[in-house]
Structure 1
Amino acid sequence: MIYTLPHIRLLRAVSRLKLLQTAVAVVILPPVYLFYFQGVVPFALVSYTTGIALFAGVMLYTASHFFRRVVGMMYLDPSQTTLKVSHLTFWGGRRDLYLPVSDVMTMGDTGDSVNETIVKLKRFSGPETLYFSTRFGRVVDKQAFEKVFGTLK
């Protein structure tokens, strides 16, 4: 292991709570509409419930868009040629990417510095960008980290 983000468990919990919130909001909608058409509840309740469900969906999309790009852990194999990057999925699970070290851009290549709160993890071969933080995360193996991302000075 060369890097870890201790707060990844919190992000995972928030990601799953957003899924639960959206599911509850969507499940509540049909009965509210049914009661409205039966004349039991006013239109204000229907519009309020629909607004909450739509807002929950938008927030789910926004939050998962961010959470899926946060790196939780990085590992370097013993031969120091493959970087294993762990990040969250849409459902809050763990996804591992295996990248050749030669394909990973250094901090100098991405234009980031060590002093920045959020640093980009980019590849030469693809447009996908992941993010990690040297401020909130912990560099476990400084030598191996510098082999992949350049010096930490």
Structure 2
Amino acid sequence: MNVIIKYLHCPARVKLRLLSGTVLNKEVSKDGNYTPVYKFPYIRPLAVVNRLKLYQTILTATSVPAVAIMTQMNYVDVDALKATCFLGLSGCITLYGLGFLTSKFIGFIYYNEEKDVAKVAYVDFWGRRRDLEIPASDVIPINELPHSYMDGLFLTFRRYSTKQTLRLNMQYGIILDKEKISKIL
């Protein structure tokens, strides 16, 4: 209760830090046997881009019909309808294009030595965190993957059991434990 009172009386930028800290320091498992081995510090801006496309879509879907109704009632000019459609659709196209590039990025990799299981936390299409528990033997090693022209931006993270591909940024990502990440990748 004391934390809530402190939260209510602090400035907006501090509230943002407090909220972001609770998401970032999310408990990994109930038994706590997972050790962080990799983190991507810029995962939050990528998640924000993916969340913005949802908000832009909702804004466009509500504003275009509203302006169309106002145009029919002669409250606004037809040019306002054209501008609303153009801005809404161009914003959606831009954000969905950026969202395509920024989704499926891995933010954290945790490793449990006892179970030989990796927990991978990534950003999905809608900007939410998704956690996968993967046996380390199911991960295709990076040196066995074919080279891609996108390797300069990110490496692909694949598994033997599914065709799902995640993105791993090694240029800006931080390896916290080289010995344990070598057991996974």
Report the TM range for the smaller structure's normalisation.
Answer: 0.7 to 0.9
Counterpart of 2:4?
none
Q: TM-score, normalised by structure 1?
A: 0.84
SS at the partner of 2:125?
coil
For structure 1, the 5+ residue unaligned runs are none
Pairing of 1:14-25 with structure 2 (within 5 A): 14-25=49-60
CA–CA distance in structure 1, aligned partners of residues 95 and 134 of structure 2: 28
| RMSD value, Cα | 2.1
For structure 2, the 5+ residue unaligned runs are 1-35
Structure 1 pair 53–117 and aligned structure 2 pair: CA distance change class (3 A):
closer
CA–CA distance in structure 1, aligned partners of residues 143 and 69 of structure 2: 59
SS at the partner of 1:2?
strand
Q: TM-score, normalised by structure 2?
A: 0.71
Q: Does 1:36 align with 2:71?
A: yes
Letter paired with 1:78: E
Letter paired with 1:55: S
Counterpart of 1:94?
129
SS at the partner of 2:74?
coil
CA–CA distance in structure 1, aligned partners of residues 48 and 96 of structure 2: 16
Counterpart of 1:74?
109
CA–CA distance in structure 2, aligned partners of residues 132 and 11 of structure 1: 13
Letter paired with 2:44: R
Counterpart of 1:124?
160
Return the offset for 1:72.
0.4
CA contact (8 A) 1:16 1:92 kept: yes
CA contact (8 A) 1:22 1:60 kept: no
Q: Over residues 86-106 of structure 1, what are the superposed CA-to-partner deviations in whole Å (9 max), with x where a residue is unaligned?
A: 011333221101111111111
Q: Over residues 60-84 of structure 1, what are the superposed CA-to-partner deviations in whole Å (9 max), with x where a residue is unaligned?
A: 4333333331000001112262111
CA contact (8 A) 1:80 1:101 kept: no
Which of 93, 97, 100 pairs up with 1:62? 97
Q: Over residues 14-42 of structure 1, what are the superposed CA-to-partner deviations in whole Å (9 max), with x where a residue is unaligned?
A: 32233223222222112200111112322
